[in-house]
Structure 1
Amino acid sequence: MSADNYSEKDSIRLTGRLVLRTFGQRSKSEHLGVYLVTDQGDYLIRPTGANPFMNNPLMKLAGKTITAEGYIVDYVFLARSWQEGEEDPRPDAAI
């Protein structure tokens, strides 16, 4: 999956929450993966160009909402950039 094969026009923007889930359960590749959970679906996410076998820098943002720009290859969202989103305040939270 080379980032060189995709241009800026292929880029999409997704907003969702980062969650940790087991990837490749009951296989030699089993590990804790970072998923972007969106209205459009759930995607394993990692930065473009990052080694898939090393720690994912997005892991520290688990539980937070982000907006990421990148592209999808199969089930993986390769993020070129991301920004931590602000939580939507609930109107009834002050009650």
Structure 2
Amino acid sequence: MSENKKRNKQTAPAPLTLRGRLELRTFGKTTKSEHLGVYIVTEKGDYLIRPVGSNPFMDNPLLPFAGKTIEAKGRLNEYVFFAQSWVVIDDE
């Protein structure tokens, strides 16, 4: 088991910064896990976004910022961006 932990630390994705607009979309359509998800839409792609350590089945703290542009720092794991911090960017 400790071998797996060592391997996971070595292959952890590098931290990065994403800038994009937050949108609400249905996640997991036609499954038991279907729910309203918060996505960050960037030039590089669209990713489900949630704060590090948050419960994926509870309300997302980023929900009130839907429609706004943010800059978030965190880690990307497949299709989910785990945000460590974020700031709302004033639309000009």
Q: Give the TM-score taking structure 2 as reference length.
A: 0.85
- The question of 1:60 aligning with 2:82 is answered no
SS in 2 for 1:60: helix
**Structure-1 residue corresponding to 2:38:** 34
Q: What is the root-mean-square deviation of aligned Cα atoms in Å?
A: 1.7
1:14 to 15, 18, 39: 18
2:50 to 27, 42, 46: 46
Q: CA deviation at 1:73?
A: 0.6
SS in 1 for 2:62: helix
SS in 2 for 1:10: coil
Identity of aligned residues (%): 57
Cα deviation code 1:1-38 (max 9, x no counterpart):
xxx958xx821000000000000001111000000000
Alignment length (residue pairs): 83
Gaps of 5+ in 2: 1-7
Deviation >4 Å, runs of 4+: none
Q: Give the TM-score taking structure 1 as reference length.
A: 0.82
Question: Which amino acid letter does the alignment assign opposite residue 33 of structure 2?
Answer: S
Gaps of 5+ in 1: 90-95
SS in 2 for 1:28: coil
Question: Which amino acid letter does the alignment assign opposite residue 39 of structure 2?
Answer: Y
